[in-house]
Structure 1
Amino acid sequence: MSDNRSTLNRDHLRKRIDNETRSRVASRVRTDPGIHFNELVRTLDLAPGQVQYHTRKLVSREILVEAPLYGKTHYFPPEYDGWERQAIALLRRETAADIVACLMEDGPLSPVAVTERIGIARSTLSWHVDRLVAANIVEKQRDETHLLVLVYPERTARLVREADPSLSARLVDRFTRLVDNLLAE
């Protein structure tokens, strides 16, 4: 997104949002694209019913896009396409973001190399890679070896910077890693 386009969108939004709470919700989604419903409730310190009411209004006015992805309802500014929405929803998980970052830094790698570099179990890698492959972020190349490769490296790099895993997602991923390490001992 260009800065000029963002400025025009913000000016246009101010004219279309007629409520302070709704404006806060829209602003938070613009600041944190892909934020999920519960995180909106927590970060804005609003009741779930309030967030639900205002997100519905913003979605109906096409100011936000609602995307139910991976068991959570995520919200995005409308300029994000379907692939970007899916990618950001996945990259908000710390382990998925670490897998992608590893592939961005080191290029195509075998699954074993990725598990060793980021310190996760093969089953954890498999779970996340299956979702990354289904979303067309990573592909599995099978020649004489198996490699994990980013499908759109430049586009993905931009989204990694925008998708900061939430605290709750980081805690879940770190707990999974802790269990993986305990089981490996």
Structure 2
Amino acid sequence: MERRNEILHRIQSKPGITFRELARELGVGIGDLQYHLYRLEKEGRIFSKKLGKRRYIFPRGFEKEYQKLVIAISTETRRKILLLLMEGPMGQSEIAKRLNLSQPTVSYHMGELVKLGIVEARREGKNVIYTLTYDPAIIARVIRDYRPSLWEKLADSLIDLLTSVGDEE
């Protein structure tokens, strides 16, 4: 029972955590974790969402409108893409170039973001232009509230960037 409470507490502190991430962070065996998650889900204390090969676990009552965003920001590449799209609509080739990613990588992640309903895709000639469907302020709030360590990394990156700009002058 103590192990189950520990698992529940971690899910509450990191909503949208993946099964593998949860197992790694808690040092729990796969079978043991599966059993406890099954019991917690049966008791209605947690629920999970599957996207692709990953299973994302949320505490009961987690805000439905934020579930998709938490899933999206759990992957570093998607998080970078979302942050880039906060600047405005952008084509796939520009995203690939600015993030130093291959076109197929960008295409895959954009497909996942479109499936989640976080990004819209529209064709303009040969290009596909992507636009956020969420207010950037909401995305920033979700990162800050549900992934504070990511927020700290972003703040550190901004400080580094501002420091380097000051050094160049």
TM range (shorter): 0.7 to 0.9
CA distance in 2, matches of 1:66, 1:139: 25
* CA RMSD, 1 decimal: 2.4
Amino acid at match of 2:51: L
Counterpart in the other structure of 1:119: 100
1:126-149 Cα deviation digits (max 9, x unpaired): 111011111110012345774211
Counterpart in the other structure of 1:36: 18
- C-alpha distance 57-42 of structure 1, shift in aligned 2 (>3 A): same
Counterpart in the other structure of 1:10: none
Do the aligned residues in 2 keep the contact of 1:97 with 1:160 (CA within 8 Å)? no
Which of the pair is proportionally richer in strand?
2
CA distance in 2, matches of 1:127, 1:165: 26
Matched, 1:90 2:79: no
Unmatched runs of 5 consecutive residues or more in structure 2: 151-169
Match among 139, 145, 155 for residue 156 of structure 1: 139
SS, match of residue 107 in structure 1: coil
Q: Offset of 1:81 from its aligned partner?
A: 4.7
The equivalences for 1:119-138 within 5 A come to: 119-138=100-119
1:71-129 Cα deviation digits (max 9, x unpaired): 1222111233555333322321111111001111x122222221121111111111110
TM-score, normalised with respect to structure 1: 0.69
Unmatched runs of 5 consecutive residues or more in structure 1: 1-18, 167-185
Percent identity over paired residues: 28
